[in-house]
Structure formats: C-alpha cells, structure tokens
Amino acid sequence: MRYFNNLVLGLFLSVLLLSSCAGEPEPVEVETGPEFVFLVHGGAGVFNPDNLPDGREEEYLDAVNKALDIGRDILAGGGTALDAVEKAIVFLEDNPIFNAGKGAVFTADGTNELDASIMDGISLNAGAVGGVKTVKNPITAARKVMEVSPHVLLVGSGAEQFSASQGYEIVDPGYFYTAERFDVLQRVQQREAGEQRTIQDKTGTVGAVARDKHGNLAAGTSTGGMTNKRFGRIGDSPIIGAGTYADNSGVAVSCTGHGEYFIRHAIAYDLNALYKYREISLDSAASFLIHKKLPNAGGTGGLIAVDTSGNYSMPFNTNGMIRGVVTSEHRESAVYRE
C-alpha cells in the first residue's frame, strides 16, 4: 500500500514538474464572425431592364445602399437590431419606387392598403398591421403594436385608430397616390382575367433583417400588396411565420413574392425550423425553400435571412430581387442574378 501511495505521489510530482517547465500554453485563435450583419430587400419579381424606366436600376441600388447605411450606422454604434430594421424600412417606405408606404400599389377600388410586420428575436414578440390606408409608415405602427399592445396583428380602421392614439403620423389617403402605380393598375384592369396577371403584378415588398453586436436578431417586412387586389386581401408580409420571423436561437427572415404561397407553406417559420431543429445550414435551408419547395408548389419570390453567427442568405427564384447586405467586413448590392 505504501508502495502504491509513493508511486502516485511520484507521478503527480512528475506531471507538476513537466507543466512548470512547459510554460504558458499557446493562445488558441478562435474564428469569429462579423460584429454585425444587416440585409435589406426591395422585392423580388420580373425586373426586365427593357421595361424599367430609364435609370430605375440605379435608383434601386442607390436606395438600397442608403438603407444599408442607415442600418450599418445604427449597428456599428452599438444600436439594436430592431432599431436598424425599423429605421431602414421607414426610409424605403418613404421612397415611391418601392411597393410599400408612399409607393404602394393600388387595389381594384383605386385605393392603397398597406401591410407590415416586425419581430424581435430575443423575446419572439411581434407586431403587425394590415389593410391600413392612412398610416404613413406602417412598420413603425407594427412595432408599436408589438411594444405597447397585448396583440400581434391589428387591421383596417382599428389599426389606424391605434396608430393615431400612439401619436403616429396619419395622412390623407391621397398621400399614397403616384401616377406610375395608378398607370399600372389601369393596365392590369384592362386585361380580362386575373389569371392573365404577370408575376410582376404579384410581387414587390421591402424588408430588412439584422444581427446586432449583442448577437440579437430582428426582422421586418412592409408592402402595398398586389396590384388590383380585392375584398381586403392581405398577403404574407404582416403574417408572422409567413413573411417575417425572428428567433435568437434560429434565424431572422423577411420574405418577398406571391404571398399566398408563403402563407400556405409558412416559409419564414419553415426556414427557422429547418435551421433550428434539423440543423441544416442557413444557406442550404433557404435555397431548399426558395428553389425547390416554393416553385414545386407554384410560388415565386425570395427572402433575406441571417443567423446569430452572422451567416446570411439572399436566394430568389425570379430573374431579379432588389437586395443588399452590409457587415462590419463586407458590403454588396444587386438587382439581377450575378
């Protein structure tokens, strides 16, 4: 027994001596992602250069890059993902070249009905408004629904009353009139039946997703919907899990395209579930949904998404999607396939 104890003591002293001689261990370099990631989109659809107004592609890219600047400045300064998403979308809503806010398309009755949603990845709290006609910036109203009401989605006149009660800017419905959008409505109505609509008539949305320096995620989406829509139609943009989703243990995603398909297949939540539960990479999961599941069902569109590690994806199955990304290390923007 004494021999065994002496043997153990000897081994211990030998290990201690070797450790002291080896000195401090070499530091291990840990690969880290960017400090922040911010993505925006201005809609997916049939962007034919021959059919766009002169200079429109440059206008799209200029607006996307300004929106990226807004998000970047907030995130680089330590601001929250929610603030970056909301402020960038407000900027896009105020730009009439996008189908959201000021540039919203017209319904069959010649009015504008706007939808928006926003979601916080920390708490899974969310807010949305649908079918509003007088709220200047629906994304801001959606955030207020999330933060001060017990509800998730408010629609129509009730959403407008809520927005006014919170002091948000209410405008005359004529504010949303643009000659370009009204001309599109007239062209669509001159065609005989709904089935003759083009993909371009069904798409057009703005959105943003962000990962801030604290690793938190947020997502938001805003739209004027579908040209010539009827009967109070609402698409995927204000539907949490269809057009928007954010989960700190998964991803933040904003979708754009033919909303009915995104609703039926819960595309935004499905992306989060594939990533979170099946442990599929973000880009692989997003590509599967946009390039296989959605088109197999007859749907068209795209999405932007980011995870807490800073990985991001921007797939689309149309010939164009207005999009851009900026991180602490990288920046890019485009309209067409590269």
Do the strands 126-132 and 153-155 form a parallel or antiparallel pair, or are they unpaired? parallel
205 noted as active-site residue: yes
CATH assignment of 37-336, given 3.30.70.2520, 3.60.20.30, 3.40.50.2300, 1.10.3720.10? 3.60.20.30
Structure tokens at 100: 């959201």
Q: What is the mean pLDDT of residues 307-332?
A: 96
Give 271-306 as a DSSP string. HHHHHHHS---HHHHHHHIIIIIHHHTT--EEEEEE
Pair of tokens at residue 333 = 């923007």
In percent, the amount of the chain with pLDDT more than 70 equals: 87
Assess contact for 161 and 135: CB atoms under 8 A: no
Q: Which residues pair with 331 in a beta bridge?
A: 326
What integer pLDDT is reported at residue 35 of this predicted model? 96
Q: How many residues are listed for the chain in this entry?
A: 338
| 3-40 tens-digit pLDDT | 444 444 454 444 344 344 444 434 333 346 899 999 99
Confidence at residue 45, expressed as pLDDT on a 0 to 100 scale:
86
On the question of pLDDT at 194 being above 60, the answer is no
Residue appearing with tokens 């911010």: 38
Task: List the one residue out of 106, 100, 93, 102 whose CA is nearest residue 182.
Answer: 106
Q: Are 222 and 93 a contacting pair, CB within 8 Å?
A: yes
Please tell me the predicted confidence (pLDDT) of residue 337. Answer: 84
Collapse the DSSP code of 114 into the 3-class scheme (helix H, G, I; strand E, B; otherwise coil) and give the result.
strand
- Say whether pLDDT at 318 is over 50: yes
Query: Of 205, 223, 308, 327, which residue is the catalytic one?
Result: 205
Q: How far apart are CA 158 and CA 163, in angstroms?
A: 9
* This prediction's pTM: 0.88
From residue 76, give the alpha-carbon distance in Å to each of 35, 37, 38, 68, 314. Answer: 8, 10, 10, 12, 22
The band of 51, judged by pLDDT with boundaries at 50, 70 and 90, is confident
* Percent of the chain residues topping a pLDDT of 90: 80
115-146 tens-digit pLDDT: 999 999 999 999 999 999 999 999 999 999 99
Q: How far apart are CA 222 and CA 241, in angstroms?
A: 14
Determine the average pLDDT of the residues in 41-70.
90
- Per the listing, tokens 């429109």 go with 56
